Structure 1
Amino acid sequence: MDRILKSISFIFHPLIMPVLGVGFYYFISPRFTPQEIIYAKLVSLTILTIILPVLIYFLLKTLDKVQSIYLKTTNERILPLLLNCVIILIVLLRILTQSQFAELYFFFIGILISTMSCLILAIFRFKASIHMISISGLFMFFIALSIHFNININDILALMCIITGAIATSRLHLKAHNYKELLMGIFVGVMPQLILVNYWL
């Protein structure tokens, strides 16, 4: 059981959530988008939001700025979160403009707000769960997309509920967070996406 719960935290790492959200958007969107554009966007996002942060992590670890990929202390979180804000800004300016994909643009605006909120909390010594921020923000985006495109994805939403519960259980079991940090993570993840729905739904 211990290995399973550790695997859940690793498999559903926050870094992969933005790409999952974009991939899901292209999968259910009734709008025609050329395959070349979809491929280019997904590759670009994978490089910027997954590969680049991993490389930055190894650099910070080499410089002894972080000890673990899970960023267990608030001090360890500040610099990676700040750099992640810069990466998201690059995505918004160069890859997902509002005129092309308004849904994805505001999805990433929400991610930026959540990341900045998590950074502010870290500065004030509060360790909100980044795992819960990412999965709950993605969950809210999926719900908004189902309403926006009028598509029944109840099976996927049910699966998201299970995954969210599994991640929360994993973080508690590993003693990475307490209940307050998990609930704050859910709030920080959901609220920006919920508020920004007004701009594209």
Structure 2
Amino acid sequence: MDKVLKSISYIFHPLIMPLLGVIFYFLKSPIHIPFEIIQAKLVSLFILTVVLPILLYFLLKTLGQVKSIYLETTNERIYPLILNCIVILIVIYRIITPSQIIELYYFFIGILISSMSCLGLAILKFKASIHMTAISGVFMFFVALSIHFSININSTLALVTIIIGAVATSRLHLKAHTSKELIMGLFIGVIPQLILVSYWL
């Protein structure tokens, strides 16, 4: 059971959540988008939101700014979150612009707000769960998409709800977070996406 719960934290890592949200959008969107554009967006996002953060993590570890991938202390979280905010800004200005795909644009604006909130709390010595922030933000985006496109994705939403519970259980079992930190992470993920819905729904 220990290995299963530990693997959940890796499988549903915050790094892959933005890309997961974008893939889901392209799969469910009734708007015709040429495959070449979809492919280019996905490759660019994979490089920027997955590969680049991993490389930056190893750079920070080499420089002694972080000790492990778990970012156990609030001080260890500051530089990775700053770099993540910069990466998301690049995505917003270069990859997903409002004139192209407005739904994804505001999805990433929400991610940026959530990341900045986690950064602010880390500076204040509070360690909100980034895992919960990421997965709950994606969940809220899925809910908004189901309303926006009038599609039935109840099974997907049920699955993501189960995943949220599994991630929370995993983080508690590993003693990575307290219940308060998990709940704060949940709200930090959901609220920005919920507020921004009014700009594109």
- TM bin, normalised by shorter chain, reads over 0.9
Equivalent residue number for residue 96 of structure 1: 96
Structure 2 unaligned blocks of 5 or more: none
Deviations 1:93-149 (A, max 9, x none): 000000110000000000000000000000000000000000000000000000000
Structure 1: distance between partners of 2:157 and 2:172:
23
Whether 2:147 is the aligned partner of 1:147: answer yes
Structure 1 unaligned blocks of 5 or more: none
- Deviation (angstroms), 1:70: 1.6
Whether 2:68 is the aligned partner of 1:71: answer no
Equivalent residue number for residue 138 of structure 1: 138
- Deviation (angstroms), 1:64: 1.0
Equivalent residue number for residue 161 of structure 1: 161
User: How many equivalent pairs are there?
Assistant: 201
Whether 2:185 is the aligned partner of 1:176: answer no
Equivalent residue number for residue 87 of structure 1: 87
Equivalent residue number for residue 107 of structure 1: 107
Structure 2: distance between partners of 1:161 and 1:181:
18
Equivalent residue number for residue 44 of structure 2: 44
User: SS of 1:127's equivalent?
Assistant: coil
User: SS of 2:146's equivalent?
Assistant: helix
One-letter amino acid of the counterpart of residue 175, structure 2:
K
User: SS of 1:171's equivalent?
Assistant: helix
Deviations 1:180-199 (A, max 9, x none): 00000000000000000000
Structure 1: distance between partners of 2:70 and 2:18:
18
Structure 2: distance between partners of 1:53 and 1:171:
21
User: SS of 1:57's equivalent?
Assistant: helix
One-letter amino acid of the counterpart of residue 113, structure 1:
I
What is the TM-score with the length of structure 1 in the denominator? 1.00
- Deviation (angstroms), 1:68: 1.0
Structure 2: distance between partners of 1:81 and 1:70:
13
Whether 2:191 is the aligned partner of 1:191: answer yes
Equivalent residue number for residue 2 of structure 2: 2
Whether 2:33 is the aligned partner of 1:19: answer no
Matches within 5 A, 1:30-41: 30-41=30-41
Structure 2: distance between partners of 1:70 and 1:51:
17
One-letter amino acid of the counterpart of residue 56, structure 2:
I
Equivalent residue number for residue 117 of structure 1: 117
Structure 2: distance between partners of 1:11 and 1:137:
17
Superposition CA RMSD, Å: 0.4
Structure 1: distance between partners of 2:134 and 2:25:
16
- Deviation (angstroms), 1:18: 0.3
